[in-house]
Amino acid sequence: MDFEWHLFVDSLPSLLHGARTTVALAAAAAVFGLIIGVSLALLHATAFPPLVWLVTGWTTLMRSLPLLVTLLFLYYGLPSIGILLSAVTVAIIAMAITTGAFVTEIMRAGIESIDRGQIRAAKSLGMSWVQSMRLVVLPQAFRRVLPPLTNEAITLLKNTALVSVIAIPDLLRAGTDIMTWKANTFSPFAGVALVYLCLTLPLVALNAYLEQGIKRSQR
Amino acid sequence: MTDTPIKIRNLYKSYGSNEVLRGIDLDVQRGEVVCVIGPSGSGKSTLLHCINGLEAFDSGEIVFCSEYVGWGRESGGGRARVSERAMTKLRQRIGMVFQQFNLFPHMTVLDNITVAPIQVLGEERNNAIERARALLSKVGLAHKADAFPSQLSGGQQQRVAIARALAMQPEAMLFDEATSALDPELVGEVLGVMRHLADEGMTMVVVTHEIGFARDVADRIVFMDQGVVVEQGPPNDILTMPTNPRTREFLTRSLGA
């Protein structure tokens, strides 16, 4: 099967349309994943044993399950207990809780990397635990974990390709549709790969830039 | 206002099987400067951390300005833990300066000093900034208000840390080996600020290795060893005619005589 230049070019508009869905899904999942991750990391930071166990158990579970399994479980499993959710809702939930588990681990490590002296100083100034987290620990932890967070964003963006299995018209699905109609795999998939690259490369560059920034500030 | 802001009675603390404090009694009068000296591992720093509740203790009691720290007495005579809320309130009234400065690296010098007055005391922003600037000139760093801690020398950082603690207008200041992490040539500028503070009548508990500072500034020197107060008294008595052999031995070693 040959590469057909005109088919490649013709497929680009519908691929870009699919890419919009991909980006929107990834963005929504990133926002919710970040909220979940920061919240769970803070619950973990309370050092209150039941909360710590709960958070550790949940993140271990969600980091161990393949996203595809979570996706299919929610999509095909939930209706059998009477919960009907749209494919897009299921996709966002599945990706948010999966990425949220990884963000939890990243944030937890970030929070724990902040020198104990910082918390002591905050406490000695009369700050409550919440104030010391909000004003002293989290701002520093965020700066430190920005590179791994961008890495997680790259993973998330690529993982959105899995939602095509529950019939969401994302970038990959747009490619497979063209492949089916035009009976040509090479040309549309070259386009799919190209568009994914265009989406992820800026994040890869951002990641590299932030890593450098951290190295600079440590000199 | 009591005349004895800090009262410590029969204080015990251990880390596992290691007894760090073994029955400390100590009163600090208003305006008094008490220097605590002693070999490392004698429990001096732990004692300081107990006073503002950064460390929990096992038994005994600490009263700061008529308020229990850590553990209080119930009306029935039992012991009750002081709530975290009450401890947070209490810490607003005690300033602390750490060996490692512990400035907030993501804030400018000015923000380091104003963050607690604004966020904790609810002070008006312009007010807090004005006072912060006054405190900065007092410690000789008015020109560094917009610098970040990483741009300052250790001595400058420690002076900012002192200003930060003073911004809360504390009733007493605790210094935990404030000059131990400094290069020798930077020690003087920090001790100078502390001396000035003492002259102004601040109540101070100073854990230090600077025997010269203790001699010149302290109203009273407390010598601690192995978790107990071995000997205490006016600097002249303790430094020139210590009665306890352990004090004598320590002084001989630290003065390099």
What pLDDT sits at residue B252? 86
CA A14 from centroid of its chain's CA atoms: 24
Q: Are B105 and B148 in contact (CB under 8 A)?
A: yes
Q: Do A140 and B105 touch (CB under 8 A)?
A: yes
pLDDT tens for A26-47 read: 999 999 999 999 999 999 999 9
Q: What percent of chain B has pLDDT over 90?
A: 62
* DSSP label at residue A1: -
Neighbouring-strand partners of residue B21 = B13
A113, A123, A125: best mutation site toward chain B, by most B Cβ within 10 Å?
Answer: A125
DSSP B187-247: HHHHHHHHHHHHHTT--EEEE-S-HHHHHHH-SEEEEEETTEEEEEE-HHHHHHS--SHHH
pLDDT (average), residues A47-55: 95
Q: For each of chain B's 257 residues, which pLDDT tens digit applies?
A: 568 889 999 999 998 888 899 999 999 999 999 999 998 888 899 999 999 889 888 888 898 888 888 887 777 777 888 888 888 989 999 999 999 999 999 999 999 999 999 999 999 999 999 999 999 999 999 999 999 999 999 999 999 999 999 999 999 999 999 998 888 888 989 999 999 999 999 999 999 988 989 999 999 999 999 999 999 999 988 988 888 888 988 888 887 65
Q: Cβ separation of B92 and A126 shorter than 8 Å?
A: yes
Is B98–A121 a contact, with Cβ atoms under 8 angstroms apart?
Answer: yes
Task: Report chain B residues whose CB lies below 8 A from the CB of A127.
Answer: 88, 116, 119-120
Mutate to test the interface with A, among B51, B69, B88 (most CBs of A within 10 A): B88
Q: Do A125 and B89 touch (CB under 8 A)?
A: no
% residues pLDDT > 70 (chain A):
97
The alpha-carbon gap from B96 to the nearest alpha carbon of chain A, in Å, equals 6
pLDDT value for B67: 84
Measured between alpha carbons, how far is residue A47 from residues A33, A40, A44, A53, A171 in Å?
A: 22, 12, 6, 10, 42
Q: Which H/E stretch holds residue B221? A: strand B220-225
Q: What is the pLDDT of residue A15?
A: 85
Q: A218 falls in which pLDDT band (50, 70, 90)?
A: low
Question: What gap in Å lies between CA B100 and CA A119, rounded to an integer?
Answer: 13
The pLDDT assigned to A127 comes to 95
Q: How far is B122 from chain A (nearest CA, A)?
A: 12
pLDDT value, residue A1: 55
Residue B202: both structure tokens together: 């601040």
Residue with tokens 């001989």: B252
- Cβ-nearest to A126 among B103, B106, B116: B116
Q: What is the pLDDT of residue B107?
A: 95
Q: Mean pLDDT across chain A, nearest whole number?
A: 89
Residue A142 tokens, joined: 């965020």
**What is the 8-class DSSP label of residue B82?**
P
- The whole-angstrom separation of Cα B67 and Cα B212 is 34
The answer to whether the Cβ–Cβ distance between B54 and A123 falls below 8 Å is yes
At residue A6, the pLDDT reads: 80
Q: Please spell the DSSP secondary structure of B6-55, one letter per residue.
A: EEEEEEEEEETTEEEEEEEEEEE-TT-EEEEE--TTSSHHHHHHHHTTSS
What is the interface pTM, i.e. ipTM, of the complex?
Answer: 0.90
Chain A residues whose CB is inside 8 A of the B105 CB are: 140
In a mutational test of the A interface, the residue from B51, B64, B69, B115 whose CB has the highest number of chain A CBs within 10 Å is B115
pTM: 0.86
**pLDDT confidence of residue B2:** 65
pLDDT in tens, A73-116: 999 988 888 888 899 999 999 999 999 999 999 999 999 999 99
What pLDDT shows up at residue A217? Answer: 67
